[in-house]
Chains A and B, each alone.
Chain A
Amino acid sequence: MRRRDFLKGAAVLGAGSLPFIRSLPAAAASNGTVVVAMGQTINSLDIHRSGTNRPSYQVAVNAYDRLVSFGTKTLPDGSLSYDYSVIEPEIAESWETTEDGSAIIFKLRRDGKFWDGSPITAEDVKWSFDRAVTLGGFPTVQMKAGSLEKPEQFEAVDEFTFKIHTIRPSKLTVPDLAVPVAIVINSKLAKANATTDDPWATEYLHKTPAGSGAFKVARWEPGQQLVYERNDAWTSGPVPEVKRVIVREVPSQATRRALFERGDIQVSFDIPNKDAKELSGTDGMTIHSTPIENAIYCLCPNLTFEPFKDKKVRQAIAWSVPYADIFQTAAYERGVPMWGGSSATPADIAWPQPFPYSTDLDKAKALLEEAGYKDGFEVPLSIALDQSDWMEPTALLVQENLAKINIKATIEKIPGANWRTASLVEKRLPLHLETFGGWLNYPCYYFFWAYLEGHLFNSSNYRNEEIETLTNETLHIPVDHPDYAPKIKRMIEIVWDEVPRIALFQPALNVGTRDMSGYEYWFHRQLDARGFEA
């Protein structure tokens, strides 16, 4: 049930008859404490463990340090965002790539200390990276994105010198060391708690972080709350302003909004587009809506479905989508429109940028006729039940317009647990919605995951020889390489023309704050409390 409905429907009950105890004033913000509410649950304190969910990544961000971090920039609307173009030192003091490009050498801070006071050494870095590439699952995949694949690549040269032997020179290697996965763990402490069955201390680190980060985990009650306490001796950056951050898990959206409006919490993380729109501009509250970098919500026609093999049919679908209505109804205008581009060839390599399609049913009909589908066809349009907040209105609007060009779409709702398997692993959904966003903010990185055949997010089963070659050629070369921009432009031009993914809009991450400042958007879309000021 949506909050507005209940506001309308709420009749004032016979108040005052029950002996309610007055709540203590939650004057939390005054003593350097920030209370955050979020809807999801943190299921592990170890990002490397298999099964660790996305909301848990925030522990890796706040309680651990990495070799390097990204800079901070101010966005046009005055809010803060990380800056992917600037790599800053965290545990590493400086780094350089060898002449021949075969290795990167990191000099660690000599004063770097873990929470227990022991020094952060190159051995710790090696152990942590070995762990990330060995344990399998998501951390291994993410490390691989930076061409970090096997333990032999990592060498502790001396106590404070760490060397990475590169498989290939790649612009992704150093940025990949700034993602939440590339944490540095206190290896002495972890090893002391490892067993022969569990050499990487996954059981221990799952519940007990052993890091050097800006915050220590003071309390973790799964399903209820996580309490961070400031590390007063943080060596990898300026000690945070706030003493304590309490992250409460509040599953109900309506409850989160009531708490936020009442001022009992200072941060409401990941609020729905609808609430974000309604609360914007309210006195005392700040709603940060940051477009999520390198992410597009797409409509994907699957090339294994006969009619969609013809590019004209895919284009017809792209011309039929009611983009503006979707942006209004499903996104509440939070995010960036991704339609109506002026030219079929991109002017620059910005990604995502508006695709050269808009709503034009006549064009769509003409294209269908050319392709021999004048009388249309039937196709199931699949959506995920757990993302129905935006997928359902979108699907209904798409269905309505498809009907106008004689394509009969039936909406098929798939439970959240099956969605991944059906859409990404088996890639069997003829027409569906998709939401990939890349952590590393490069167009080639997006293409790598979403347009190469067999890759996870290419749920359309798309294959184009030129895209395969160009993506592999551009993935590792620096952005300022003379070949980079022309090749990326060519890639964009191809996928615009062939539209295996029809861009709808770029989504936004909405975070509400009040009585505090210092919220910063990060590509990982999790809470980073290190800059909070209250």
Chain B
Amino acid sequence: MGPRTKLVLYRTLQALPALVGVVIVSFILTRMLPGDPAAYFAGPAATEASIAEIRATMGLDRSLPVQFLHYVQDLVVGDLGNSLSTGQPVVEELTRRLPASLELTLTALLLSCAIALPLGIAAAVHQGSWIDHACRGLVTAGVSLPTFFTGIVLVYVFYYLLGWAPSPLGRLDFVYLSPPEVTGFYVIDALLDGDVETARGALSQLVLPATTLALFTLAPLARMARAAMLQALSSDYVRTARAAGLGEGQVVLGYAFQNAMLPVVTTLGMVFSFMLGANVLVEKVFSWPGIGSYAVEALVVSDYAAVQGFVLAMAILFVLLNLAIDIIYTLVDPRTREG
């Protein structure tokens, strides 16, 4: 077993207690939410008796330890329960909504990286120049505009005034049908299906929300890229490389950039996980059927199963993400490279 495989296994094992903790904490926290879901779901004209009936159907009349036991039993067989507010099994709902959020978040992240990394590097290389100031300006604007505001402004300008963007109606305009599901990413699925028209439709729906999110995430990435690059450029090995007469391109991209990537990858991981949960407002503005709006709606009505399912899914996602980042780390870190 190579040291890397060992590392991966070790990290995976480390994640298990965290997951158990998440299961317990999410269960207790949802029970501590204010409000009586039975009364809420019994509807506007419910009587005491009908609320009691609903409470029994929901299993809320049993004691907490018994409820927890049932929850864990179901969990073991992969059953996260039924969401009361949407009326669907939580697993089904998550598998449908998670790809929507992931597609949006990943697209935004790609877009953000494509702008932030070159910008950050250029700003570091030409420190104090106009490009550095431009970077600072863009970054400040990006963080200081809340996403819902940017979202609404983009809708207003590009959809309402100019009519360039398609109607902000979620993942696909109603003239298209959703492509057969393979990955859950509409653009990729449509392309796999050979349906270029639908892929274009799905892509065009993505542009505005992804831009909104990208603007917001530009800041940490560009700042981190700039700072890391500055540090790398002032380090001994870069000086050595320069002294050895290596070309500027190789020094910047080959030596400095590789080392500067480490903190950037870490930030990337943090930004990604943060974005998944934080794009609720963007989802609302663009009617995006993602996981964030689902969780918030479930939380508002104390929909226990849905909230627990969401927390658990996110926890698993974070564990996987951290694992992936650790692995990428070992790949990009020159020090861990085996000779």
Q: B-contacting residues of A (Cβ < 8 Å)? A: 1, 6-7, 10-13, 15, 18, 20-24, 26, 28, 35, 41, 43-44, 49-54, 136-138, 140-142, 145, 206, 221-225, 246, 248-252, 254-255, 258-259, 261-262, 264-265, 386, 415-418, 420-421, 425, 449, 456
Q: How far is the CA of A10 from the CA of B162 in the complex (A)?
A: 14
Could you list 24 A-B pairs, sorted by A, with CB under 8 Å?
A: A1-B148, A1-B149, A6-B149, A15-B157, A18-B207, A20-B165, A51-B87, A137-B42, A138-B45, A141-B47, A145-B45, A221-B289, A223-B97, A225-B170, A248-B170, A248-B287, A249-B287, A251-B287, A254-B285, A258-B159, A259-B169, A417-B36, A417-B301, A421-B39
Q: State whether A248 and B157 are in contact (beta carbons under 8 Å apart), knowing that A24-B166, A51-B85 are contacts in the complex.
A: no
B163 contacts A21, C-beta separation under 8 Å: no
- A144 to B110 Cα, complex, angstroms: 58
B31 at the interface (CB under 8 A from A): no
| Residues 195-239 of chain B, each 1 if its beta carbon lies under 8 Å from chain A, else 0 | 000001101100100010000000000000000000000000000
In the complex, A259→B156 CA distance in Å?
Answer: 10
Give the complex CA separation of A261 and B160 in angstroms: 8
Closest to A261 in B: B160
Scoring B39, B53, B153, B203 by chain A CB atoms within 10 A of each residue's CB, the highest score goes to B39
For the complex, give the distance between the alpha carbons of A252 and B288 in Å. 10
Q: Evaluate contact between A222 and B156: CB separation under 8 angstroms.
A: no
CB pair A137–B174 under 8 Å, yes or no, is no
Which listed residue (B84, B161, B300) contacts A416, Cβ 8 A?
Answer: B300
Q: Which residue in chain A gives the minimum CB-CB distance to B285?
A: A252
Give the A-B contact count at a CB cut-off of 8 A: 193
For A20, the chain B residues whose CB sits under 8 A away are: 158, 164-165, 204, 207
User: How far in angstroms is the closest Cβ of chain B from A55?
Assistant: 11
Indicate which residue in B49, B164, B170, B173 contacts A26 across the interface (CB closer than 8 Å). B173
- Complex Cα distance A221/B302, Å? 22
Question: Closest 5 A-B residue pairs measured CB to CB?
Answer: A417-B35, A23-B166, A138-B43, A21-B204, A20-B164
Which residues of A have CB within 8 Å of B161? 12
Taken together as a complex, chains A and B put the C-alpha atoms of A396 and B277 apart, in Å, by 34
In the complex, chain B residues whose CB is within 8 Å of the CB of A264: 167, 169
CB <8 Å contact, B45 and A255: no
A223-B97, A255-B287 known; A53 vs B204 contact (CB < 8 Å): no
Whether A254 touches B41, Cβ cut-off 8 Å, given contacts A50-B54, A53-B85, is: no
CB distance B41 to A51 under 8 Å?
Answer: yes
B185 contacts partner chain A, Cβ-Cβ < 8 Å: no
Distance in Å: Cβ of B138 to nearest Cβ of chain A:
12
Residues in A whose Cβ lies below 8 Å from that of B167: 23, 26, 259, 262, 264-265
Whether B36 pairs with A421 at a CB distance below 8 angstroms is yes
Q: Which residues of A contact B14 (CB under 8 A)?
A: none
Q: Nearest Cβ distance between residue A300 and chain B, in whole angstroms?
A: 16
Q: Give the docked Cα–Cα distance between A222 and B84 (Å).
A: 12
| Contact A141 B46, CB 8 Å, known A6-B149, A6-B156 | yes
- The answer to the question of B184 belonging to the interface, with a C-beta cut-off of 8 Å to chain A, is no
Judge whether B35 and A415 touch: CB under 8 Å: yes
